Structure 1
């Protein structure tokens, strides 16, 4: 199933105080949905910025213009539920002149398309509301294609009417399966559909412009985006405030708000109840506020409801990814809080019960993010908090505890400071290059170890997963290229590009109106061996069987990402285990994993999630949906409980209202360390074979 990702600009936007949330606004007259002179000026400047400063060379020709046109219609109607094929054909001629229009700053076609879209939304909502009074027969054998992102557009109005009949029936059935009271379902759906139409009618000229321009920029590359003046203002406010909120990065996918990832130290991560891929379907304020259905809402509108001041309560209605669209929802109460640096800080612990002869002791260092207290540093505080400073202290403590090897755990580390990625690498190598950065003009700069000398010379492994990104990939790639450590886990995210913010007003100094800003991709990271971390990420030396296909995740799942590329390798000296030793370690690991109940559970979970990802059609027969939901739930629960009992733990059901939070945290910790323990066993095996990644100078110690 092709993913439609429209990421929120930055997780910090969840930090804004509730007072900044948009008030309920009035319908915008359709006659006012026309381009302004300010927007025309901004368009021409954006053209120049993309042409001269973007990393990917751009040619604004007919072919590129057609792609922009399709991306714009996709942004408005991602599930192909509003526009007819005739609407598409009507505007297709627009695509052939869109390049000329953009060059001259003309935006009339984009606004004409949006005005028709608004009309089509009103028509569909009227039909949906009329269907609520009749009710549905849920014993009838029929199905609904809920993911129409790659389906053919309806050619006739009657065909689209049938699609919407099934959509409304599916929405009704989904609420029944979520144990919603039957007599409340029509009212809830009525408010959902009316809200959809109302929000589209509240789009003003700037909203239309931003939607179109982002379709334009994302046609070039997925990480380039336009921030309107209001979005820029929110961004500035978020950067000035302490990071307060629930700590989650969200994305819009079709008409749902999906959790992309949770932030270390944030309430969402600490609750243990919100996971990547979960859908937020409802939001309520305080302990007694009314739960608002947010399906079909714009992403920023959902964020406005979720964010708020420290200490306030927000309740979320979550559709867990593992339950699918036909499973029960879960209500979660979170206290918004400041996400402090120490909550994201690196931590360490020991694994000393590995069954090896002779016995070995492995230290584990968890690094949730690459952080650096720039404010304290700018004030001249030499003891400012940073990833490298913290890890330095943890390594010294582990060495005092007599560890034989160290595992660096970078799972779900989305990156952060490049400075910290290079400095951290320097703790494990003597001197040399760490990463290469190539800009849009072809200039390559090499970032080197800032601190000659090695703090830790011993055996090392690095554990990564599909959510290890950016700075994490730089560190893991350097360790792999030097042969300094064994890379274990899953192929990483694959984001190897660099973005910067460009203030459009700087190009027109006397411009009175704010033109907004452009988030622009300007460079690419390359490994010291010459290959990019872009798209392919870092492929582990020893891969776990928990991710059978990496093409539907990370950068590889985005539309039109920059391709993998290669430049000349930097000058560096490599030390490593032989290929035969790696094969031996891999074979030993595979043998253990085949009889490990923990990996049985992780593999079963991955299989269920993959089935859900691949599913595009759902039965509208209630009995079939319930049977399928119970089957998935039984598979997941049985595997989890079987594993926990092997660990001497009584399973805790996180879906109960009176869940024991301490017991739940203990259970989650045991599950989270399944992969860590196997990484430790692999490192223990390597220690018996030799010293993995140990520099030759260290061999003489």
Structure 2
């Protein structure tokens, strides 16, 4: 399943964005539904999770710590007195869960709401007054090591330093802008520091006010989901509760399509604004709706208009979306301030960036295919819809018609998706045989084979990965590596997610009149055909290239509560004796990379990023902060050209796509931008060089058994 950022609305993410929570939270509880949800969740986790945990005192302590950290990760709401009161529940949560008792959650949320109301006064009062930027003091942003405030006075001091830090950053930006203006116009009179300081405080205030407003739109379901996920994610980082509206977003993500008008929306103040029309969607085809339009009202067919000004974005989107063939009437304020009514017939909207795309690379008079696969997509509810396996097969067929001599598959940043399509795609490059092994809890491993003897591509194959290639991406890369069918090139190792999740609608387990949402549950582990798990270890590239993530903690091993690595029996397969010069090509590439000045610079840049990431102390004195900034800028200047690569290769769209581009200027501009980026991509360049050197033996790809 897809390894994406967890789709849950939680406080920490929002707080770290630079704000805090609203003073009038929508906390209308649904006690009976909440208790049912906890009961169903506990049953499923105990009986169906791949590696269930005992709900005991140790578990209770972990849930306690996680929930407190989710609610107040940077220690600016709760005090030590609050924590002392909460701590009486530290070993009782497991017992409460068994009784569907929500006392701990309610106690924390009641106190949280009180502290949020107080904190609103904190920041408004602090930002009324000038900061003393001559004072020598520092702020520590390693919040894991900071204790909760002893009392409200110390809490105010935490707030003061954080507001001062935010304002200082804004002042430095404003000072840079003033310097740039003065350089461009010698007559420009720079504004005084006092004016800039006041403007920076006003910007900090505006940012926090807007944040309060957004948080006030969260309802009880959003808050309770945070607590539920503190329970679920103690089992492993991919077991996640989806509230009903979040489940809908997950379904769109895995299928790559929605039913609606085909527009991306953004909330700006009280208004819902069109920020993009999705190419090929109904609004794009019709042409009346434009980027920048603001939706004031909407009506379903034969119904009265509903004012959506001030409505939360999620609710507005629900009203605008709808089944294929239905009508929605939008009252919009156009960019020229005119008001228009626009009727749009909804349709299926495919999110083009989700799907496979290909390009022809022209190198030394030869053609090579480049396929970008952003995820392993499928719609399990619609067998007639697109899926990544069928699309890959079709894309390869089109590339073959153009006489390509090698194929490069780009799986960078591909977090996975459908296991079925990963097996299908693996089968495109071999005769038939095992692709992956899958193991349920307490069961023997099952070997998943490609049973189709057809080989869609029998030429040289290179697969490009990075640290964010995960799950199904690792299955495909591992199988091709074990068969020695492809050279794997990219980061030192991939993400390391060797588990399989299933999304279980909770109402299927308990008959309840309201939607309880769903649980994404880890039910299997998968293993390479050589017997090793990809869990934690990932896939180690045959050819490793430095990246900006080389020294930064990314991967399953950095997550909380990951399942462990293990090994099972090898499947029945043999490596293919396919390439004449497999080892030589890998050796040559490693030598090139070690001597390449650009890769050496990337490696130094990665070390600097790690060093910067580990910096937790910052001065709040303007002069000292400016000196720190100068040192950072000087160091950064040495890396300004780190990714300014020029391959001098040419990339063009396959012939079949040219007619589509003629009809769709948006698609054309996207492809132009993609091809331009490919020419600047040093990883693509080296991968194509490896591909061009690979020579196959005159044997078939029939697997030896």
Q: Tell me the distance in 2 between the aligned counterparts of 1:393 and 1:627.
A: 53
Distance 1:639 1:307, change over 3 A: farther
2:463 is aligned with 1:468: no
- Output one character per residue of 1:279-312: Cα deviation in whole Å (capped at 9) or x when no partner: xxxxxx93799xxxxxxxxxx9887899997999
Shift of residue 514, structure 1, vs aligned partner: 3.5
Report deviation, 1:75: 0.9
Match of 1:125 in 2: 120
Is 2:93 the partner of 1:85? no
- Structure 1 stretch 413-422 or stretch 569-578: which is displaced more? 569-578
8 Å Cα contact 2:22/2:215 also seen in 1 = no
TM-score by length of 1: 0.73
**Equivalent residues of 1:484, 1:695 under 8 A apart:** no
Q: Deviations over 1:77-123 (max 9, x none)?
A: 12222222332232222011111110000001111012112222333
Of 418-427 and 592-601, deviating more is 592-601
Q: Does 1:175 align with 2:176?
A: no
Matches for 1:356-435 after TM superposition, within 5 Å? 362-372=368-378, 377-378=383-384, 385-396=386-397, 398-399=399-400, 402-435=403-436
- Asked if structure 2 preserves the Cα contact closer than 8 Å seen for 1:407 and 1:462, the reply is yes
Determine the structure 2 residue equivalent to 1:206. Answer: 221
Offset at 1:695?
5.2
Deviation string, structure 1 residues 659-682 (Cα, Å, up to 9, x no partner): x9999766533223x112212223
Partner of 2:184: none
Q: Does structure 2 conserve the Cα–Cα contact (< 8 Å) formed by 1:243 and 1:339?
A: no
Pair 1:463–1:363, CA change in 2 (3 A): same
Aligned equivalent of 1:624:
627
Aligned-partner Cα distance in 2 for 1:589–1:174:
43
Answering whether residue 137 of structure 2 is matched by residue 137 of structure 1, we say no
1:677 aligns with: 685
Aligned to 1:322: none
* Cα deviations by residue, 1:131-173 (Å, 9 ceiling, x for unpaired): 1122123344433223413433333444333322110011112
Comparing 562-571 with 629-638, which one deviates more in the overlay?
Answer: 629-638
- Measure the CA separation in 2 of the matches of 1:178 and 1:100: 52
Distance 1:309 1:178, change over 3 A: farther
**8 Å Cα contact 1:86-1:155 kept in structure 2:** yes
Give the secondary structure class of the aligned counterpart of 2:92.
helix
Question: Is this contact kept in 2: 1:604–1:639, CA < 8 A?
Answer: no
* 2:193 counterpart residue number: none
Is residue 437–residue 529 contact of structure 2 (8 Å, CA) maintained in 1?
yes
- Name the CA distance, whole Å, in 1 between partners of 2:349 and 2:197: 40
1:334 corresponds in structure 2 to: none
- State the TM-score, normalizing by the size of structure 2: 0.72
Do the aligned partners of residues 368 and 684 (structure 1) sit closer, same or farther apart at CA in structure 2, a change above 3 Å counting?
same
Q: Counterparts of 2:169 and 2:390 in 1: how far apart (Å)?
A: 50
Match of 2:508 among 497, 506, 509: 506
Structure 2 residues not aligned, in runs of 5+: 10-20, 178-195, 267-275, 281-290, 296-310, 322-329, 336-347, 651-668
SS at match of 1:64: helix
Partner of 1:251: none
The answer to whether residue 435 in structure 2 is matched with residue 440 in structure 1 is: no
The 1:196/1:123 distance shift into structure 2, 3 A limit, reads farther
Evaluate the alpha carbon distance shift between residue 663 and residue 463 of structure 1 in structure 2; reply closer, same or farther with a 3 A threshold. closer
Q: CA deviation at 1:635?
A: 3.2
1:344 alignment partner in structure 2: 355
Aligned pair partner of 2:60 in 58, 65, 69: 65
Q: Does 1:495 align with 2:497?
A: yes
Kept in 2: contact 1:422–1:450 (CA 8 A): no
Distance 2:145 2:203 in 1: 29
Give yes or no for contact 2:496–2:539 (8 Å, CA) kept in 1: yes
Deviations 1:442-495, CA, capped at 9 Å, x for gaps: 253322113113233333221111222222211111101111111111122222
Rounded Cα–Cα distance in structure 2 between residues aligned with 1:394 and 1:200: 44
Bigger mean CA offset, 464-473 vs 359-368: 359-368
**Structure 1 unaligned residues grouped into runs of 5+:** 11-23, 249-262, 268-284, 290-299, 316-336, 354-358, 379-383, 650-659
The answer for the alignment partner of 2:298 in structure 1 is none
Q: Which piece of structure 1 moves more, 212-221 or 488-497?
A: 488-497
- Say whether the 8 Å CA contact 1:351–1:364 is kept in structure 2: no
Alpha-carbon spacing, 1:368–1:351, altered in 2? closer, same or farther (3 Å):
farther
Indicate the SS of the match to 2:680.
Answer: helix
Q: RMSD across aligned C-alpha pairs, in angstroms? A: 4.3
Paired with 1:73 and 1:212, the residues of 2 have a C-alpha distance of 9
The 3 A distance-change label for structure 1 pair 557 and 111 is same
Q: Tell me the residue number matched to 1:333.
A: none
1:388 Cα offset (Å): 3.7
Of 31, 34, 43, 1:36 maps to 31
After superposition, give the CA deviation of every residue in 1:314-356 in whole Å (9 maximum; x if it has no partner). 99xxxxxxxxxxxxxxxxxxxxx95445872231313422xxx
Residue 24 of structure 2 corresponds to which residue in structure 1?
27
Counterpart of 1:565 in structure 2 is 566
Higher mean Cα deviation, 598-607 or 413-422?
Answer: 598-607
Q: Which has the larger radius of gyration?
A: 2
> What is aligned with 2:655?
none
- Report the 3-state secondary structure (helix = DSSP H, G, I; strand = E; otherwise coil) of the residue aligned with 2:640: helix
SS of the residue 1:193 aligns to: helix
Structure 1 position 7 matched with structure 2 position 12: no
Given candidates 142, 148, 151, the residue that maps to 2:143 is 148
Q: Which residue does 1:280 correspond to in 2? A: none
| Paired residues, number | 589
- Residues of 2 paired with 1:342 and 1:224: CA distance? 26
Q: Distance in 2 between matches of 1:397 and 1:229?
A: 40
CA 1:138/1:587 → structure 2, altered by over 3 Å: closer, same or farther?
farther
